[in-house]
Homo-oligomer: A and B are copies of this chain.
Amino acid sequence: MKKIFTLALCAFSANLYAQQKTISGFTAANAAKEVQLEQQFDKAISAKRIGENDKQLSAYPHHIGSPGGKAVADAILAKYKSYGLDAHIETYTVLFPTPKTRVLELTSPTKYTAILKEPALKEDATSGQAGQLPTYNAWSADGDVTGALVFVNYGLPDDYDRLEKMGVDVKGKIVIAKYGRSWRGIKPKVAYEHGAIGCIIYSDPKDDGYSQGDVYPKGPYKNEYGVQRGSVMDMVIYPGDPLTPGVGSTKDAKRLDRKDATTILKIPVLPISYHDAQPLLAALDGPVAPDDWRGSLPITYHVGPGKATVHLKLEFDWKQVPAYDVIAMIKGSKYPDEWVMRGNHHDAWVNGASDPISGQSIMLDEARVLGEMLKTGWKPKRSIVFCSWDGEEPGLMGSTEYVEDHAKELQQKAVVYINTDDTGRGFFGASGSHALETYVNEISQDVIDPETKVTLFERNKGREAVNTSSVKAKKEILDRKAEHIGALGSGSDYSPFFQHLGIPSLNFGFGGEDGGGEYHSIYDSYDDYTRFKDPGFIYDATLASVTGRATLRMANADVLPFDFQSLYSTINKYAGELNELVNQMRESTAADNMLIKNNAYALAADPTKKMALPVAKPEVPALDFKPLTNALAALKTSTEKLSTTWASAAQTNADHDKLNKLLYQAEQQLLSTEGLPRRDWYKHTIYAPGFYTGYGVKTIPGVREAIEQRNWVEAQQQIGVVAKYITQLAEYLDKTGM
């Protein structure tokens, strides 16, 4: 009796709660139903099953093109089917290089041959398996080069400026760069632009080794032999199969000749461990590296060049492999041709218990739960599409080829693309289309953090308030009612949806309490994940509550929860940043020229040290931001009007089919037909991965990168371009009429 009473009370309370809660885009009655549905969903999500998925799918190495990869795709297909979903595999054929020869030797002043091998550990059950990809960077050029070694810090453009000031150039030399501070592919690209003939990338223990904490297997950080594999494709030009830019790499697609593929590197590149890096770095002479370049190996970091010479020989098997995208569909009852898309890749560099299997395991449990709900007769209003991508690791192959292949259909049907990837313990992170900011906030203010028992939103607020330095900012954070979401660059499968097609996209995950050095190594294993990333899969289950809400709300909304006023204010903020950036550059250029004129650099320098004095730069001209300001004023007006239309629509029970379509297709108005300068695959005028940062986003990239490169003519021209597309969006939104 008592038990039943308690349950009834619970149901009553939940019901009360459900009745009281509002959800954007839902009528009061439908919001109540939606809340109950979400409670049902949460209850059914199982941390245990997520853990079982993770163990099963990370049990063997399963990179693209491997037997393990095929087995994982088949297992995922079988799971979707067993959940009652309509699933199939779409296969693309893509180029994928694997190493045949890897030699790295220090040849002078002493000899050292790099071991290039991560050892098996008895504490890690899968670390000694056959079928592991060796440590390498995919899309390195074949090459056999010998040259003087130069240490280039993180290998970013600024680092080369600093080298120039030290009187060091890398022409004809082999560079060694640290992992970190940029996407890895930027390092060899910038090295090549500066004339280097080879590039070595290593993980300094300061960044993810012993300086950060105990090393694996004692702790989660990189041990001396750990190596980060990874793609160095020039993905900021275009991702996906290098031979089929812009089109799906179906079996018979027209392909470029490999030598014409602009995203394949021109010089050999190899990632190594700090065990292998230390003898090379210790052999360097020349200037001592600047203070902020030094890592924590027990050596003096010199820059070179000098006596230290290395020999790097790499040969690859440039073969075509199949990419198996597993697609599973739940048909919408009311709007079957409106697709709420949910994706996560399934290929790993090796076992990938975290990257990508943590996210994949969560998504599969979401699918299982929805499958169970289907069996009770429930159906979403809109279709839900689960996508388990292959070949993300070498360069978003599976998702990009799928997107390019289905571009037209997706631009018609895709309401949203919700991505996850590796995830762990800690704080909630969300990035994506800013028209979805309100919708994301309603979710993060609804889901409870399992460690602190407050909402994800409240927990983030706490952390940010502590970490912000100014008192004013602390107060603002504690008082805030909504949190900004981040902007998307690249690094996972949302990129083609978002930046190529303009489909509203989101990326979710947890992190911050799961630091480690396992990324892209053989130690990204089930043993590692369950000890250090998310023991008990507690946060994984919480992420399922987030993605579940995100999917269900978008699938069931009466009026789709897009809020273009948030998009407007975000773009307006970015425009303000650009203005500020130009002013700062003008001021710092003037200051620098003043210092040069006053000979201050020479007076500040130690004359016994070799140094190239900086040269005065042309002053920064005034840019005319008026077109952008005008376009934003128009967007402000349109979004205000739309907001009124939207609010009244959301209170009526009419069919909002036309309005909804207009809403989810609106972001496509921000795509430029011409694409970004020098990389026309990227069409979105507001968000792109940085040409010199890689994963890191550049907002209003056409203008921002022209400013950063001091290309004032292009910056002014791009202000016109972005203004044109913002105006286009404003005019498009006006169609919602009053």
> Chain A: residues with CB nearer than 8 A to chain B?
205-206, 210-215, 219, 221, 288, 294, 296-301, 426, 451-452, 454, 458-459, 461-463, 465-467, 471, 474-475, 478, 513, 587-588, 590-591, 594-595, 598-604, 606-608
6 nearest CB pairs, A to B: A462-B603, A462-B600, A463-B604, A466-B604, A471-B591, A298-B298
Q: How far does the alpha carbon of A707 sit from the alpha carbon of B471 in the complex, in Å?
A: 20
A590 touches B299 (CB 8 A): no
Closest to A586 in B: B471
**A607–B210 CB distance below 8 A:** no
A-B residue pairs in contact (CB < 8 Å), sample of 7: A213-B288, A214-B288, A459-B603, A462-B600, A465-B600, A466-B601, A471-B590
A602 to B452, CA, bound (A): 8
The answer for the CA separation of A590 and B471 in the assembled complex, in Å, is 8
Contact B474 A594 (CB under 8 A): yes
A426 to B608, CA, bound (A): 11
Interface centre among A215, A299, A452, A466 (most CB of B within 10 A): A466
Q: Is the CB of A452 within 8 A of B607?
A: yes
Do A604 and B513 have beta carbons less than 8 Å apart?
no
Question: Given the complex of chains A and B, what is the CA–CA distance between A449 and B213 in angstroms?
Answer: 47
Distance of A288 Cα from B467 Cα, bound (Å): 19
Q: A513 touching B606 by the CB < 8 A rule?
A: yes
A462 contacts B210, CB within 8 Å?
no
A454 proximity list for chain B (CB < 8 A): 603
Given the contacts A300-B213, A300-B215, A595 and B465 also touching, CB distance less than 8 Å? yes
Is the CB–CB distance between A600 and B426 below 8 Å? no
A451: B residues at CB distance < 8 A = 607
Given B221, B474, B590, B604, which contacts A595 in the complex, CB threshold below 8 Å?
B474
Closest to A451 in B: B607
Given A210-B299, A211-B294, A474-B594: A467 touches B604 (CB 8 Å cut-off) = yes
Chain B's nearest CB lies how many Å from the CB of A568? 31
Q: Kindly name the residue among A221, A300, A588 whose own CB sees the greatest number of chain B CB atoms within 10 A.
A: A300
Q: Which of B215, B466, B471 contacts A588 (CB 8 A)?
A: B471
Chain B residues within an 8 Å CB radius of A205: 298
Do B594 and A475 touch across chains, with their CB atoms under 8 A apart? Answer: yes
Determine whether the beta carbon of A300 is less than 8 Å from that of B604: no
Given known pairs A205-B298, A298-B298, A513-B606, the reply for A598 and B465 (CB within 8 Å) is yes
Residues of B contacting A298 in the complex (Cβ-Cβ under 8 angstroms): 205, 210, 296-298
Within the complex, the shortest CB–CB distance from A537 to chain B, in Å, comes to 15
A475 contacts B599, CB within 8 Å? no
Q: A449 vs B119: C-alpha distance in the bound complex, in angstroms?
A: 57
Q: How far is the CB of A380 from chain B (nearest CB, A)?
A: 34
A298 to B595, CA, bound (A): 40
Residues of B near A212 (CB, < 8 A) are 288, 300
Q: Known: A466-B595, A590-B471. Contact between A214 and B603, CB under 8 A?
A: no
Interface centre among A478, A600, A602 (most CB of B within 10 A): A600
- Nearest-neighbour CB distance to chain B for A624, whole angstroms, equals 24
A606 touches B426 (CB 8 A): yes
Kindly state the separation between the CA atoms of A594 and B478 in the bound complex, as whole angstroms. 9
Contact partners of A604 in chain B: CB under 8 A: 462-463, 465-467
Q: Which B residues touch A426, using CB under 8 A?
A: 606
What separation, in Å, do the CA atoms of A426 and B604 have in the docked complex? 9
Q: Is the CB of A603 within 8 A of B461?
A: yes
With A219-B300, A474-B595, A591-B471 already in contact, the answer to whether A462 and B602 are too (CB < 8 A) is yes
- A300 in contact with B452 given A475-B594, A606-B513 (CB within 8 Å): no
Q: What residues of chain B lie closer than 8 Å to A466, measured between beta carbons? A: 595, 600-601, 604
Q: How far is the CB of A232 from chain B (nearest CB, A)?
A: 28
B213 touches A591 (CB 8 A): no
Query: Which B residues touch A210, using CB under 8 A?
Result: 298-300
Query: Is A478's CB under 8 angstroms from B603's CB?
Result: no
CB distance from A709 to the nearest CB of B (A): 22
Asked if A300 and B461 make an inter-chain contact with CB atoms under 8 angstroms apart, the answer reads no
Instruction: Tell me which residues across on chain B come within 8 A of A606, comparing CB atoms.
Output: 426, 513
- In angstroms, Cα B83 to Cα A16, docked, is 101
* A594 CA / B479 CA spacing, docked (Å): 11
| Residue numbers in B under 8 Å from A452 (CB-CB) | 602-603, 607
New A-B pairs, 9, CB < 8 Å, besides A471-B590, A474-B591? A212-B300, A213-B288, A296-B298, A452-B603, A462-B602, A462-B603, A462-B604, A463-B604, A466-B595
B-side contacts of A474, CB under 8 Å: 591, 594-595
Closest CB in chain B relative to A296 CB, distance in Å: 5
Cα-based distance from A478 to B596 in the complex (angstroms)? 11
A294–B219 CA distance with the chains assembled, in angstroms: 17
Instruction: Tell me the complex Cα distance, A299–B604, Å.
Output: 36
Chain B min CB distance to A223 (Å): 11
**Distance, CA A461 to CA B602, complexed state (A):** 11
Distance in Å from the Cβ of A581 to the closest Cβ of chain B? 15
- Min CB distance, A146 to chain B, in Å? 26
In the complex with contacts A471-B587, A471-B590, A591-B475, A598-B462 CB distance below 8 A: yes
A477 CB, nearest partner CB in chain B, Å: 9
Residue of B nearest to A219 (CB): B300
CB proximity of A357 to chain B, nearest CB, Å = 23
On chain B, the residues within 8 Å of A458 by CB distance are 603
List residues of chain B with CB within 8 A of the CB of A288: 212-214
A619 to chain B, nearest CB (A): 13
A474 — nearest CB in chain B belongs to which residue?
Answer: B591
User: Roughly how many angstroms separate A455 CA and B238 CA in the complex, as a whole number?
Assistant: 56
Closest-CB distance, A585 to chain B (whole angstroms): 11
